[in-house]
Amino acid sequence: MYEIYDAHTHIYPDKIAQKASKTIGEFYDIHMHFDGTVDALLALGEKHSVSKHLVHSVATNAHQVTSINNFIISECEKHKDRLIGFSTLHQDFENPAEELKRIRESGLKGVKLHPDFQKFEISSPIMDDAYRAMMELDLPVLFHTGDSRYTWSHPMHIPVILKKHPHLKVICAHFGAYSQWQEAADCLKGADVWVDTSSSFFMISDDEAKKYIARYGEDRVLFGSDYPMWDVGDEIQNILRLGLTVKQNEKIFSGNLKALLGI
């Protein structure tokens, strides 16, 4: 069996987890398989032999940033052997560099941003100070990318920020762009990015998945489940079903994330 690191999971405090999970399900009109609690995530990981989960949560206003980051830091401290944390940030948060330095010193490994929830364009100049700090602190940024209903997260923004911040480590979720997979493959052609596999297999064919893995490169694809939206066991089988080589599976399931984060 492969060593598995799930590179895309959302977690919430127990008292709001069910409501937060339901809100996401309503936003995407998708049934949520789980409640978004840490306990449910860890139990699922045990069941399917997932070694580590990359966890994060998104701030929808600037006032939530510090408390969400403290929650992620706390959970990662409690479950050091199981969880890897990414912070949140918000375009209206004052002095992002200071907060990014704090979360890095607290052990978090990167930043997750969701432009459609947070209502900002990825390439907006309002984010330049934050991107500059991420680059200087060597903190990768995981973007939710893609949604045919909006332009905030369109993959066309990614080459723009990479031109301004060429050493920024960018992960584009959902095989480059949720619901805009071919547009992403075109926009990101030749771009220095990573992609994850989350929330894609329910809408793309196996042949398309293999095509996107080839397009982005086997060294740049990260396995992700998008918990609590999907069952990681099913997502593991989606990868195994592709008939990739052992080496390719090793990279996608854990090797590429470990190399990216230096863990």
Token reading at 41: 């995530």
Q: What is the pLDDT of residue 174?
A: 95
Q: What is the pLDDT of residue 18?
A: 87
For each of the chain's 263 residues, which pLDDT tens digit applies? 899 999 999 999 999 998 888 888 787 778 888 899 999 999 999 999 999 999 999 999 999 999 999 999 999 999 999 999 999 999 999 999 999 999 999 999 999 999 999 999 999 999 999 999 999 999 999 999 998 889 999 999 999 999 999 999 999 999 998 888 899 999 998 999 999 999 999 999 999 999 999 999 999 999 999 999 999 999 999 999 999 999 999 999 999 999 999 99
Q: What is the pLDDT of residue 162?
A: 98
**Whole-angstrom Cα distance, residue 186 to residue 181?**
9
CA atoms within 13 A on the CB side of 250: 3
Burial status of residue 232 (CB atoms within 10 A of its CB: 0-12, 13-18, 19 or more)? buried
Among 90, 93, 81, 82, which residue's Cα sits nearest to residue 111? Answer: 90
* Long-range contacts from 236-241, C-beta under 8 angstroms, 24+ separation: 236/4, 236/48, 238/197, 238/201, 238/209, 239/197, 241/206
Q: Which amino acid is located at 246 in the chain? A: V
Terminal C-alpha separation, the chain:
20
**Whole-angstrom Cα distance, residue 257 to residue 16?**
29
Domains, the chain, ranges and CATH? Answer: 5-261 (3.20.20.140)
Q: Residue 228: is the preceding peptide bond cis (ω within 30°)?
A: yes
CA atoms within 13 A on the CB side of 60: 5
Q: What is the pLDDT of residue 112?
A: 99
Among 128, 171, 177, 186, which residue's Cα sits nearest to residue 149? Answer: 177
SS (H, E, C) 146-196: CCCCCCCCCCCHHHHHHHHCCCCCEEECHHHCCCCHHHHHHHCCCCCEEEE
Helices (H), 95-156: 96-105, 115-118, 128-136
**Whole-angstrom Cα distance, residue 119 to residue 103?**
23
Give kind and range of the element (H or E) at residue 11.
Answer: none
CA atoms within 13 A on the CB side of 76: 24
**Whole-angstrom Cα distance, residue 259 to residue 94?**
31
Token reading at 186: 């075109």
